[in-house]
Amino acid sequence: MKLLITGAAGFIGSHLVRTVLGPDKPLGDDVRVTVLDALTYAGNRAALAPVEDEPGFGFVHGDITDAPLVDRLVADHDAVVHLAAESHVDRSIERADAFVRTNVLGTHTLLEAALRHGTGPFLHVSTDEVYGSVPVGSSVETDPLAPNSPYSASKASSDLLALSYHRTHGLDVRVTRCSNNYGPYQYPEKVIPLFVTRLLAGGTVPLYGDGGNVRDWLHVDDHCRGLLAVLTGGRAGETYNVGGGTELTNKELTGLLLDACDAGWDRVEHVTDRKGHDRRYSVDWTKARTELGYTPVHDFTEGLAETVAWYRTHRSFWAAPEAELQGA
């Protein structure tokens, strides 16, 4: 299999590449992976260093809105895993144009190329945020989309666009929607690496509002196992939720991170809540479990401890960008 993975110098994509080309070779020994990444602020070639010398690895520095480049690459690959996206809610609130360009127009560019060359499966990776805030229960794949931030609206748009290419053209499109990821190599703008790096650097951390917003936490390794399950066994035109199974309020998560970094609540600054801040996300991954055998295996307590330990011992990964960050 020749696999094109977009955005794979980022957090989730780089883990997927390290998994596919790592010792276990879940897609077989003859898999070839090409990474297409624009190397924006959140992309880091260092995250791919462990597999860059593998014979099946290739890297192309480029933008998914570059139609001629995308066309050449898609034509030479059997499948696409589309992870490239602008993904930070705060940045989308400040300026949404990059989110529309990358998440909507970039997805369209890839879909058009896949359609021209009959490339599939086309795995489109999305987020639980497209369902909007869920007061009780958990979102299932057939629930209406109700995004509330420019980021989640751009992802919902790209989800619908991708699925339309299956329903209209018969393209083998599969969509996944995951809960909040954590793990090593995550750029420190998302809450866990932001809090960890600031605490390790001796600084303070911002807690939005009353800290009661609830998120479900998914280890990036579990997420990538879910992606591979959908890529190899999912059905065309279907959507699959990929959840983690650990729901925490932001205040509860903050307490765990303070303990892990040997810090106290005096290091927490209570800040004005984010505009349009969704109260709770939760996805039901019964479909992925029953159809594909997916279930998360990482214990959150152990996974969080390992993640904090990784940031302790990889200061060079985050020390420079940490000073530039705005908030969680």
Domains in the chain, CATH or no CATH each: 2-181+220-242 (3.40.50.720)
Q: Which of 63, 86, 128, 222 does the annotation list as catalytic?
A: 128
pLDDT of residue 315: 93
131 is annotated as an active-site residue: no
Ranges in the chain, pLDDT < 50: 321-328
pLDDT of residue 217: 98
How far is it, in rounded angstroms, from Cα 286 to Cα 141?
10
pLDDT of residue 149: 92
pLDDT of residue 303: 98
Q: Which residues contact 60 (CB under 8 A, 6 or more apart)?
A: 34, 35, 36, 37, 69, 73
Mean pLDDT of the chain: 95
Distances (CA, A) of 66 to 102, 109, 113, 131: 11, 8, 11, 30
pLDDT of residue 320: 60
Q: Which of 131, 151, 165, 294 does the annotation list as catalytic?
A: 151
Q: Which of 37, 54, 63, 129 does the annotation list as catalytic?
A: 129
78 is annotated as an active-site residue: no
In angstroms, how far is CA 153 from the centroid of its own chain? 16
Closest residue by Cα to residue 220 from 152, 311, 298, 130: 298
129 is annotated as an active-site residue: yes
